Amino acid sequence: MDARLEAIRDTVLARNPGEGEFHQAVTEVFESLGPVHDRHPEFLEGAVLERLCEPERQIIFRVPWTDDAGSFQINRGFRVEFNSALGPYKGGLRFHPSVNLGIIKFLGFEQIFKNALTGMPIGGGKGGSDFDPRGRSDAEIMRFCQSFMTELYRHIGEYTDVPAGDIGVGGREIGYLFGQYKRITNRYESGVLTGKGISWGGSLVRPEATGFGTVIFAEEMLKTRGQSFDGQRVVVSGSGNVAINAIAKAQALGATVVACSDSSGYIVDEAGIDVALLRQIKEVERGRLKDYEARRPAVSYVAGGSVWDVDATVALPCATQNELDGDAAARLVRNGLLAVGEGANMPSTRDAVAVFQEAGILFGPGKAANAGGVTTSALEMQQNASRDSWSFAHTEERLTEIMVGIHDRCAATADEYGDPGNYVLGANIGGFVKVADAMLAQGLI
Ligand code: NDP
């Protein structure tokens, strides 16, 4: 890392102790930015990096609610409004027991660059709670969401901060959150949340967007080597929103997706995953991946273990951060891997990224490859602002256009900075320069 940047990075780490994922995300971005500061000394003079690493606002709040047994439950809520240089804060809400400030800050930090890469007018933010939705009834989920919004509503708005979903927050939760926002404010403010239902202000393609976008990005990477998804053997981690839609899109492009996972284990289905059955189990019945085995012959379910033990030519990590380490990366490379598209945020550890890059694997980092979700959220905001709703075909066409544009910008930036094919460098520099220019133009704030 450039010595000037290393000193700033060390200060950031020291004043944010214990926030391991945030440290990791900051370090990874700083490692790319040395050459930019050679060309743009004004970024150092303007203390852009110091400002960028300090969120504009961090909100932490109590979320009290009652469970079905009538017991009182207390969770912690977060919203980190990281950077508004390019537009209102935009980024999802995560409900998962592992959530803490460091995780929300890593996600919010990544979101700044991702949103800049989309070319849409959106800043970066993220939020969530350590609430565990697993095993909770609909009524419990609703009461939790209502309590969460009872504090959050005063911090958000269509021109201020526009949350969406993430792990543990899908259409059902966005519905309960929107209902409570409307009730408290007495405003039907469609643009305050994205990921809404189609009949009440949502956008077609939003549920599919992150998974579809990841595959579109990976397809563009494959094309640079004269390849495509057609005929590839694909392994996907996770079996939530991003994973299911990545599987669907990869198979639509002619790949065979042979494995996917949840936090309890993974399935191997050599014939190709039956997406309709997977959707039924995960989205309709809210069941576990293990249920898939019982309903499809010749499928093996492996409890625990790592889905990355299954060999693949394309790997799409779509579950969570740091789920693919250096050993798993080395195993995938030995088994014939060509490309990795990160559907999740920071799923590959720094060791894993190094293994992929040294082996010359096409590697699409999450902040570029999974930008399709927030892109389509911004398209939802456009439709809300114009009180319009677009067809599936038109919205998917816009998504595809934007994902191809992100790919091309990352590739062109990597070329410009003398490291062709390095999408990590391309994404970090491409996103950073856009935000840094806007921050300088807006003065010291
Ligand atoms: P979901 O809640 O729909 O699904 C998450 C999936 O990942 C589940 O299969 C879950 O398994 C698994 N998972 C979650 N945590 C862990 C863990 N600690 N260890 C192992 N498996 C785990 O979330 P999404 O699909 O929406 O999000 C997945 C990833 O994509 C996240 O990194 C998110 O930040 C990122 N992302 C999501 C976007 C979106 O639009 N939704 C946009 C951009 C990025 P289990 O059910 O067993 O917990």
Strand-pairing partners, residue 47, are: none
The answer for residues whose C-beta is within 8 angstroms of residue 410's C-beta and 6 or more apart is 117, 368, 423, 426, 427, 430
Distance separating alpha carbons of residues 178 and 270, to the nearest angstrom: 41
124-129 and 89-95 as β-strands: parallel, antiparallel, unpaired? parallel
Residue appearing with tokens 């609909």 = 138
Cβ atoms of 136 and 66 closer than 8 Å? no
pLDDT of residue 28: 97
Q: Quick one: which atom of ligand 1 is closest to the CA of 366?
A: 44
DSSP one-letter code for 396: H
Distance separating alpha carbons of residues 131 and 350, to the nearest angstrom: 28
- Please give the structure tokens belonging to residue 203: 């956008």
Which alpha helices (H) appear in 299-341, and where do they start and end?
A: 326-334
What's the pLDDT tens digit per position in 224-235? 999 999 999 999
For residue 288, give the amino acid letter: R
Distance separating alpha carbons of residues 206 and 208, to the nearest angstrom: 5
For residue 265, give the amino acid letter: G
Distance separating alpha carbons of residues 127 and 162, to the nearest angstrom: 11
pLDDT of residue 233: 98
Pocket probe for ligand 1: among 100, 118, 134, 262, the residue whose CB has the most ligand atoms within 8 Å is: 262
Catalytic residue, from 90, 105, 114, 126: name it. Answer: 126
Residue nearest to atom 30 of ligand 1 (CA): 344
Domains in the chain: ranges and CATH: 3-188 (3.40.50.10860), 209-360 (3.40.50.720)
The answer for residues whose C-beta is within 8 angstroms of residue 382's C-beta and 6 or more apart is none
Based on the residue annotation, tell me whether 126 is a catalytic residue of this protein.
yes
161-164 and 124-129 as β-strands: parallel, antiparallel, unpaired? unpaired
The reply to whether ligand 1 has any atom less than 6 angstroms from the CB of 322 is no
Spatial CA neighbour of 234 closest among 329, 326, 340: 340
Q: Is the pTM of this model over 0.95?
A: yes
Q: Quick one: which atom of ligand 1 is closest to the CA of 377?
A: 40
**Spans of the chain, pLDDT less than 50:** none
Cβ atoms of 375 and 214 closer than 8 Å? no
Helices and strands, counts by H and E, the chain: 18, 12
Distance separating alpha carbons of residues 7 and 165, to the nearest angstrom: 35
Distance separating alpha carbons of residues 403 and 398, to the nearest angstrom: 9
Pocket probe for ligand 1: among 129, 263, 284, 325, the residue whose CB has the most ligand atoms within 8 Å is: 263
Pocket probe for ligand 1: among 242, 370, 379, the residue whose CB has the most ligand atoms within 8 Å is: 242
Distance separating alpha carbons of residues 238 and 103, to the nearest angstrom: 18
Helix orientation angle between 423-441 and 101-118, rounded to the nearest 10 degrees: 90
Distance separating alpha carbons of residues 340 and 361, to the nearest angstrom: 7
Residue nearest to atom 28 of ligand 1 (CA): 319
Which is it for the CA torsion 82, 85, 88, 93, positive or negative?
Answer: negative
Residue nearest to atom 47 of ligand 1 (CA): 263
The answer for residues whose C-beta is within 8 angstroms of residue 406's C-beta and 6 or more apart is 117, 118, 217, 368, 371
